[in-house]
Structure 1
Amino acid sequence: MPDFLEDLGHGIYAIDTGFQRPRFDAAYLIVEAGRAAFIDTGTNHAVPRLLAALNALGLPREAVDWVIPTHVHLDHAGGVGLLMAALPSARALVHPRGLRHMVDPKALWLSALTVYGEAEMQRSYGKLVPVPAERAEASHDEQVIHLAGRPLRLIDTPGHAKHHHAIWDERSRSWFTGDTFGLSYRVFDVDGRAWMLPTSTPVQFDPDALKATVARLLAAEPLAMQVTHYGRVGGNVAEVQRLAADMLAQVDEMVAQAEALRTATDRHDRLKQLLLDGYLARLRAHGHAAGDEAAAWLAMDAELNAQGLEVWLDRPAR
Structure 2
Amino acid sequence: MSQPKALGNQITLIDLYDLKMPERTGSYILHAEELTIVETSASPSVPYLLEGLKNLNIDPKDVKHIIVTHIHLDHAGGVGLLLESCPNATVYVHPKGKRHLADPSKLIAGARAVYGEQFDELFDPIVPVPEDRLIEMNEGDSLKIDEDRVLTFYDSPGHAKHHFSIHDSLSNGIFTGDTIGVYYPQAEGLNFVLPSTSPNQFDPDAMLNSLEKIESLNVDQIYFGHYGRSRDPEHVYEQIRFWLPRFVEVGEKVFEEKPDTSFEEKSVAVTEGLKNIVTTHLVEQNIPSNHIIYNYLDLDMKVCAMGIVDYLGKKEG
Superposition TM-score, scaled by structure 2 size: 0.93
Asked whether the 8 Å contact 2:142–2:152 carries over to 1, the reply is yes
The CA deviation string for residues 264-284 of structure 1, in whole angstroms up to 9 with x for no partner, is 135333221110011112223
1:287 to 1:110, Cα distance in 2 relative to 1, 3 A: same
Equivalent residue for 1:211? 208
1:147 partner SS? strand
User: Deviation of residue 43 (structure 1)?
Assistant: 1.2
1:78: how far off?
Answer: 0.7
Distance 1:173 1:114, change over 3 A: same
Shift of 1:212: 0.5
Q: Which residue of 2 aligns with 1:295?
A: 294
Shift of 1:52: 2.3
Give the partner amino acid of 2:45: A
Amino acid in the other structure paired with 1:250: W
Question: Is the 1:71–1:77 contact (alpha carbons within 8 Å) kept by the matching residues of 2?
Answer: yes
Corresponding residue number in structure 2 for 1:137:
135
Deviates more, 1:161-170 or 1:259-268: 259-268
Within the alignment, does 1:23 sit opposite 2:23 as a pair?
yes
3-state SS, counterpart of residue 153 of structure 1: strand
Q: For residues 230 and 294 of structure 1, what CA distance do their matches in structure 2 show?
A: 12
Q: Distance in 2 between matches of 1:11 and 1:292?
A: 33
Supply the distance in 2 between the matched residues of 1:298 and 1:316 (Cα, whole angstroms).
26
Give the Cα separation in 2 of the matches to 1:291 and 1:62: 44
| Runs (5+) with no aligned partner, structure 1 | none
Deviations 1:136-157 (A, max 9, x none): 1111001100113320001000
Deviation by residue 1:239-259 (Cα, 9 ceiling, x = unmatched): 311221112211011112222
On the 8 A contact 1:36/1:63 being kept in 2, the answer is yes
d(CA) in 1 for partners of 2:23, 2:295: 15
Residues 201 and 146 (structure 1), Cα distance of their counterparts in 2 relative to 1, 3 Å cut: same
Cα offset, 1:296, TM superposition? 3.6
CA distance in 1, matches of 2:296, 2:51: 28
Deviates more, 1:59-68 or 1:307-316: 59-68
Assess if the C-alpha contact under 8 Å between 1:157 and 1:164 holds in 2.
yes
Q: Tell me the CA shift for residue 163 of structure 1.
A: 0.4
Alignment partner, residue 223 of structure 1: 220
> Residue 317 and residue 276 in structure 1: after superposition, are their counterparts in 2 closer, same or farther (change >3 A)?
closer
- 2:70 corresponds to which residue? 71
Match of 2:124 in 1: 126
CA offsets 1:114-165 (integer angstroms, 9 cap, x no match): 1112x41111111110111011111100110011332000100000000000
Cα shift at 1:18: 1.3
Deviation at residue 317 of structure 1 after TM alignment: 6.8
- Corresponding letter in the other structure for 2:26: A
Residue 288 to residue 101, structure 1, CA distance change in 2 (3 Å): same
Please tell me whether the aligned partners of residues 280 and 294 of structure 1 are also in contact (alpha carbons under 8 angstroms): no
Deviation at 1:65, TM superposition (A): 1.1
Structure 2 residue aligned with 1:244: 237
1: CA distance between counterparts of 2:283 and 2:218? 29
Report the equivalent of 1:94.
93
Read off the aligned partner of 1:245 and give its amino acid letter.
Answer: E
SS of alignment partner, residue 9 of structure 1:
coil
User: How big is the shift at 1:291?
Assistant: 3.4
Q: Pairwise mapping of residues 276-315 of structure 1 onto structure 2 (< 5 A)?
A: 276-291=275-290, 293-315=292-314
Partner of 1:50: 49
CA–CA separation in structure 1 for the residues paired with 2:112 and 2:166: 29
Q: Whole-Å Cα distance in 2 between the matches of residues 139 and 294 of structure 1?
A: 35
Distance 1:293 1:86, change over 3 A: closer
- Alpha-carbon distance between aligned partners in 2 of 1:259 and 1:177, rounded to the nearest angstrom: 27
Query: Helix, strand or coil: the match of 2:183?
Result: coil
* CA distance in structure 2 between the partners assigned to 1:72 and 1:132 by the alignment: 15
| Partner Cα distance (2:291, 2:40) in 1 | 31
Compared CA separation, residues 75 and 273, structure 1 to 2 (3 A) = same
TM-fit CA distance, 1:293: 4.4
Report % sequence identity. Answer: 30
- The alpha-carbon distance between structure 1 residues 253 and 64, as it changes in their structure 2 partners (threshold 3 A), is same
Letter in 2 for 1:130: P
**In 2, Cα distance between the equivalents of 1:252 and 1:74?**
26
SS in 1 for 2:243: helix
Q: State the match for 2:114 in structure 1.
A: 115
Aligned residues: 309
**SS class of match (1:188):** coil
- Looking at structure 2, the residues matched to 294 and 60 of structure 1 have their Cα atoms a distance apart, in angstroms, of 35
Residue 154 of structure 2 aligns with which residue?
155
The one-letter amino acid of 1:103's match is A
Taking structure 1 as the reference length, what is the TM-score of the superposition?
0.92
